[in-house]
Amino acid sequence: MDATDLCFTSAVELAELIRRRALSPVEITRAVLERIDRLNTRLGAYVMVHAERALGEARAAERAVMTGEPLGSLHGVPISIKDNLWTAGERTTYGSRLLAEFVAPEDAPSVAGLRAAGAIFVGRTNLPEFAWRGSTDNPLFGESRNPWDLTRTPGGSTGGGAAGVAAGLGPLALGSDGAGSIRIPASFCGLVGLKPTFGRVPMYPAAGGNELVAHVCPLARTVRDVALMMNAIARHDRRDAFALPDEGVDYLAACDEPFGGARGATPVRGGARVRIAWSPDLAFAPVERETRKIAETAARAFAEIGVTVEEASPDLGDPSVILKTLYGGAQAGAHAARSAEQKAQMDPELVAYAEASAGLSVVEYLRAVAARQAMVDSLRRFFEKYDLLLTPTSCLPAFPLGAVGPSEVAERKVTHLGWTLCYPFNYSGQPAVSVPAGWTASGLPVGLQIVGRRLEDALVLRAAAAFEALRPWAARRPRLS
């Protein structure tokens, strides 16, 4: 296996090779660091690389293997951390000049879980300022680029992490998702990104006005790698008031359970087999024709394992008012009252977005809260009939650099993040994963979103693993020299 193949080897396989002493943590860490050094200037994936420290951690990990010490599930496996998640003693900038020198006083719960599992932290990845949008560019570090087409965005807000994983600059990335921020980059970069059930992975510190929709998330090239990360980070932490209690779920083992109509497949509940709905647009979003066709073909592939897929959409109305009011209101609360000097250092698009929502009234805000409650109830009723819902992740493939987002899709005007089908499930708190559905004629990835009931993250991952077995994608790599 050459250095490039090593950099595209799955985390599950790397961990097993290290455990069997067939691969040194130093070897894989050095290969990843050398690839970062060679490609990161073009991609803008990492904003900080801790090469010497990572090699020191890798040498310590190697000694632990050789001396027979207990090993964590991610022992010796390299990982990147999004630059809005605290790592003790490191600068955590949130992509903002305002926090360019801020040093985190402690590990975020997810970071602590990965550290305890033995992962090697190689660096921090880029994001839009304060993770506010679905493309990755900020005044402090500049833009990230999509490895499949360097003229296009990798998505956001976990765009740097996605660009890095897709380009082989590390097998795993830790990110976050407040309105699609892990699933959009997964879709745009041909990766697997899971937004777990709200509270399943603790978040600390809280995400300000977005704390009721913000999720900490795993990102990788394969479903099992995401599940391996979940085993390390889905642990209760008292610092998060919304953190769920531990349920002892082995997410990696869940991926190996038979699914659908296969012999021995585990029933969902009450002895019934899994029931899947396919919605091309959630009855509100414009979707480009090629994107819809690729995602629908992927959804219909579940029939190959004996699962009936019915076309059906939950009654969500137009959820854009919820996003505009609650998400826009959160940005206004955080930034609209900043001084002129501070605003001059910020992303001007973020400032404009925050100021546009500064005049919202309490009545408007509470109407949006009521609309959210109605949407959540509608989804609850929909999921009484169906166990899983499939949709395109995004309404189009990765768009060109330089834009916050497209203003029009399929000849229809769209609002902020109205070009995704992600954000309703932040507001409902349901688990949702994006997996590669296929590639466009021009070679851009398209994502399929798989949504489940709250707390049924393991079923979502089982379905994703079953689809990966039907339509494997991990061998496909972007053409980077």
Catalytic residue among 10, 82, 195, 343: 82
Q: How far apart are CA 212 and CA 427, in angstroms?
A: 8
**Active site annotation includes 181:** yes
**Beta-carbon count within 10 A of 352 CB:** 11
Can you read off the two tokens belonging to residue 34?
Answer: 């050398």
Of the residues 24, 80, 96, 181, only one is catalytic, namely: 181
Choose, from 80, 96, 135, 157, the residue flagged as catalytic.
157
Is 82 one of the catalytic residues? yes
Match 């609850």 to its residue by tokens: 380
Catalytic residue ranges: 82, 157, 181
